[in-house]
Amino acid sequence: MCSACESDEDLPSSIPAVILAYDSVEIRYQQMADLVTDLISNVSVDESIRVKPIENLLDREPIVSLDFNKPVTTRKDILNFVNYQKKIDDSVKALFSQLDNDPKWNQAPLVLDFKNRYSLLTDSVQLAKRKFNETVKSAGLELSVPLDSVKYQKQVVHQ
């Protein structure tokens, strides 16, 4: 990448845009993790709701930062990070499914609010990933990340 760069001023002009685009992806995932942590703290009072798998995934969540001055992050690191986020997302979908099938929770305003907020954050992650892919493509780098094809789309019905 740019192992000869000694300062930000030595970076190719497209690299700061790539870093900014990746930071946007990372920030959106952090927002999702924060929301999921809040959800878990609210529903874990019910011992019938399984939250341990998500807690374990969040505890082991990798951190990947881009620094082109000291290139230690590889494409594999970025893909592992994004794929790990997919595992978290799958676990969150399973949690929402549990809540949907539990009469105590399926129409609870708190859960409906979390579902809506999670859906909005999922959309935000997708937008950030698309922007990242466009940015790395225009920079001529092979760092694109896969986009999710399916998201949680349970219809929220208000009575």
Residue 6 lies in a domain: no
Residue 158 lies in a domain: no
pTM over 0.85: no
Residue 64 lies in a domain: yes
Integer Cα distance of 89 and 153 in angstroms: 13
Residue 91 lies in a domain: yes
Residue 52 lies in a domain: yes
Residue 147 lies in a domain: no
Residue 143 lies in a domain: no
SS3 sequence, 69-101? Answer: CCCCCCHHHHHHHHHHHHHHHHHHHHHHHHHHC
Q: How many domains in the chain?
A: 1
Closest CA to 39 of 99, 102, 128, 84: 99
One digit per residue, the tens of pLDDT, for the chain of length 159 reads 343 334 444 445 677 888 889 999 999 999 999 999 999 999 999 999 999 999 999 999 888 876 655 566 778 888 889 999 999 999 999 999 999 999 999 999 999 999 999 999 999 999 999 999 999 999 888 888 988 754 444 444 333
Residue 2 lies in a domain: no
Describe the chain by its helix, strand, coil percentages, rounded to 5.
60, 0, 40
Q: Which domain holds residue 75?
A: 12-138
> With contact defined as beta carbons under 8 Å apart, do 111 and 105 qualify?
yes
